[in-house]
Amino acid sequence: MKVLVIGGGGREHAICWALKRSPRVTELVCAPGNAGIAAIAECLPVQQDNLAGMLRLTESIAPDLVIIGPEVPLAEGIVDALNERGVRVFGPTKAAAQLESSKAFTKAFLERHNIPTARYTTVHSLEEAREALPKFSLPVVLKADGLAAGKGVVIATTHAEADGAMEELLPMNGSVVIEEFLEGDELSFFALCDGEYAVAIAAAQDHKRIGEGDTGPNTGGMGAYSTDELLPEERRLWLMEHVAQATVNGMKAEGNPFRGILFCGIMLTPNGPKVLEFNTRWGDPETEAILLRLENDFLDLVNASIDGTANTLNIKMKPGAAISVILASAGYPASAQKGIRIDGLNAALPAGVQVFHAGTATNANGEVVTAGGRVLAIAAEAENLRRAAGKAYEAAADISFAGMQMRRDIGWRALARG
């Protein structure tokens, strides 16, 4: 099979790595890719938000399968366009991808289908917002309706802060979701969906804030871990029945069958799990940890989603734990230094450790350099989280670039619990 992967981050590097392990993948192409992906796949310089360019590329190289990594092409309808052209593609349609591309759509959908979530209202003007905000306790969560590259959520602790955030968020998409603040532990739960069935894959826990101890501004994610303890059987069954399968059932009933990866952002509150958000693709940096644990041929998951046979799969995860630790550029998340040489990438890696490239490129001298905010994900799997973390940080110690940022406490809550 010739497979085309669309995207160029750490998630896509992990997907390409998983695909290369399948004996059925004979040719692998990625667009646009990055310096790490280029070592295992042919990278073609078409940007992931260039829908027309991606369609021309697909027509030109005629892949047997296309896998969509990031959210923007899904929201723009690339799956619909490829389906119309008879191309086999993994991911949800534009209508189904609204579960990620529109916060207002998702909250209304959850309400219609009695899927537990935070109390909310959607406003379309400052006047509406100022009338609605006093009905919510502080802190209050404000979410821009559409895609905002991780910058569309504000947790306001004062009414003045909420008012200022509204002035910033409303112009993004014309509407903002106001939501009650939920207390508890966050969980990223991933399910494979085929339009009729949802099948549990694994859970992970992301670390969004830039600083150790979960301090400082939010980022796209500074690291994640995945363990069996995150998804005990009782919790798995509950999330499957009340969230994942309920969502698939609801989307089918509304005429928008959901196929692909359903990433359920869950808050484990004292009153039970509640949906924070959905993503309609693999997460980053969770994917870099989860795919290290996956024992199945990755291609089997993709084919089952497309062919409507997800319920026949027996998805197996390695026991133990996996972790991914992000190495970020100076200035991230506000900015990113690009073109900085990365040293230490040729160091030998122990078993169970992978270095996934996120924001990297190759300069005119053939050196690998930084090309984004999140630069590398150091991933490791082992018999337990403490050992996996040790292996990841040991590998990270061999890599350096000017201004490099790294949290040294990924998995800290679980490790503190022993």
The 10s digit of each residue's pLDDT in 387-404 is 999 999 999 999 999 999
- Determine if the peptide bond prior to 217 is cis (ω within 30°): no
- The yes-or-no verdict on residue 291 having pLDDT over 90 is yes
Could you tell me if residue 110 is inside a domain? no
Is 172 in the same domain as 190? no
pLDDT value of position 79: 98
Name the residue among 71, 98, 277, 280 with its Cα closest to residue 179: 277
Could you tell me if residue 101 is inside a domain? no
pLDDT value of position 48: 86
Could you tell me if residue 397 is inside a domain? yes
Q: For the chain, how many structural domains are there in total?
A: 4
Is 197 in the same domain as 226? yes
Show the CA angle centred on residue 210, arms to residues 150 and 119, nearest 5°.
45
pLDDT value of position 5: 98
29-33, 48-52, 302-306, 313-317: segment of lowest average pLDDT: 48-52
pLDDT value of position 149: 67
The 10s digit of each residue's pLDDT in 115-141 is 999 999 999 999 999 999 999 999 999
Q: What is the CATH classification number for the domain harbouring 235?
A: 3.30.470.20
**Of the residues 261, 278, 312, the one at which a domain ends:** 312
Structural domain boundaries, residue 153:
119-180
Q: What is the CATH classification number for the domain harbouring 135?
A: 3.30.1490.20
The 10s digit of each residue's pLDDT in 145-160 is 988 766 688 999 999 9
Is 407 in the same domain as 344? yes
Q: How high is the mean pLDDT of the chain?
A: 96
Could you tell me if residue 107 is inside a domain? no
The span from the CA of 234 to the CA of 378, in Å, is: 31
pLDDT value of position 49: 86
